[in-house]
Amino acid sequence: MTAITYTNTRSTVPNFTKDVHTRHPRGYAYETPTHFVHFYGKEAPYYTISIGLTAIERKNGPLTDWVERTFGATDIRPMSTNVGEVTDAIWRPGLHRELECFQALSIIESEKRNCEQSITLLVNRLEELFYYIYPDRSGLAAYSHKTRELLILACTEVENFWKYYISKAAVAPLGKYYTTKDYVRLMDALFLRDYRFRLDTYPSIQSISPFSNWDQSQPTTSLRWYDAYNKVKHDRDQNFSLATLENCIQSVVANLVIYAVRFGSQALSEQKNKFSTLFNEHFKCELINSDPTTFYLTKINLPSNTRTDLTIIDSACNRLDTPFSINKLVI
């Protein structure tokens, strides 16, 4: 089942707020055998799609005519993901509730917990460094044995994430062993460029997007923090100065990016546990320039006695949502 996405410019749903499109400017729609279905969605930071704001109406004419007439749809585009389908272990907007994420992303609680413990260790070590090196522009170039230690540890964790996804895709290495020439193929499939972080407690530091410059033609050197890790690990004497605080920050945030890909960006900040508390103490996350055609849409199952007029329903509360189908990762 295919869907479309568009920009909302008005709402004509009876007995419903008329300015909802200003707070939920994105729209997503598809058709069931009997009805048209529309979801409202927000923009940054997380591009939340609200299944609690589900508009439905009995089918009459083309879907595009309905969204133009009812929601003032502009910039209508086809979705690249089918309704009710996700890619294995890759979060996209459209997944928000915890139980939904666990089902759609095949999350195992012990796996999630182990990942959070590893990242907690990294963030705690980064925080310790901040006691000795103030992370402003002049301090970012500082290096020491402690920064080298954290850089190696953080990049080792990134490699572990990469190997996890390469195994999901079941692709053979281009050479004898897996290298960044293989891992860079994950860049688009995991939407790694979509994520941007800020260190809120240190506003002088620019926003951090560890994978923004990853280039297939230079898969190692285009990741400056990862290139530094390789050089510092293999030849400390010649490259010690590359183990900078800045590269430590980039590598720790790279782990946060891939955590968000695996478990959902809301899992960083919205859990009621020590992990989210630690994250919120230091970081803010947002998605940038995300392509809404790649988001996930819940497939709802409308009963035969569903009303035919234009109305708003909460498909989650009414238990109309169906479990997601999981597609294999292809890179």
pLDDT tens, position by position, for the chain (331 residues)? 899 999 999 989 998 888 999 999 999 999 999 999 999 999 888 899 988 889 999 999 999 999 999 999 999 999 999 999 999 999 999 999 899 999 999 999 999 999 999 999 999 999 999 999 998 888 999 999 999 999 999 999 999 999 999 999 999 999 999 999 999 999 999 999 999 999 988 988 999 999 999 999 999 999 999 999 999 998 888 899 999 999 999 999 999 999 999 999 999 999 999 999 999 999 999 999 999 999 999 999 999 999 999 999 988 767 788 999 999 999 9
| Same structural domain, 68 and 112 | no
| Same structural domain, 74 and 203 | no
Asked if residue 99 belongs to a domain, the reply is no
Asked if residue 100 belongs to a domain, the reply is no
| Same structural domain, 279 and 297 | no
| Same structural domain, 126 and 254 | yes
| Same structural domain, 131 and 270 | yes
- Residues facing residue 41 across a β-bridge: 26, 49
ω before 45 within 30° of 0 (cis)? yes
State pLDDT tens for residues 155-171: 999 999 999 999 999 99
| Same structural domain, 8 and 128 | no
- Residues facing residue 56 across a β-bridge: 37, 311
- Domain limits for position 133: 108-287
What's the structural domain count of the chain?
Answer: 2
What backbone torsions phi and psi does residue 165 show, to the nearest 5 degrees? -75, -35
| Same structural domain, 80 and 227 | no
Joined together, the tokens standing for residue 264 give 């959902």
State pLDDT tens for residues 114-125: 999 999 999 999
Q: What is the CA radius of gyration of the chain?
A: 22
Residue with tokens 């400017």: 25
State pLDDT tens for residues 252-276: 999 999 999 999 999 999 999 999 9
Asked if residue 102 belongs to a domain, the reply is no
Residue 258 burial (CB count, 10 A): 24
Joined together, the tokens standing for residue 269 give 């900040």
- Residues facing residue 49 across a β-bridge: 41
Distance CA 187, CA 192 (A): 6
State pLDDT tens for residues 277-312: 999 999 999 999 999 999 999 999 999 999 999 999
Helices 109-132/245-263 angle, 10° precision: 160
| Same structural domain, 163 and 296 | no
Asked if residue 113 belongs to a domain, the reply is yes
Q: Give the pLDDT of residue 44.
A: 83
| Same structural domain, 242 and 117 | yes
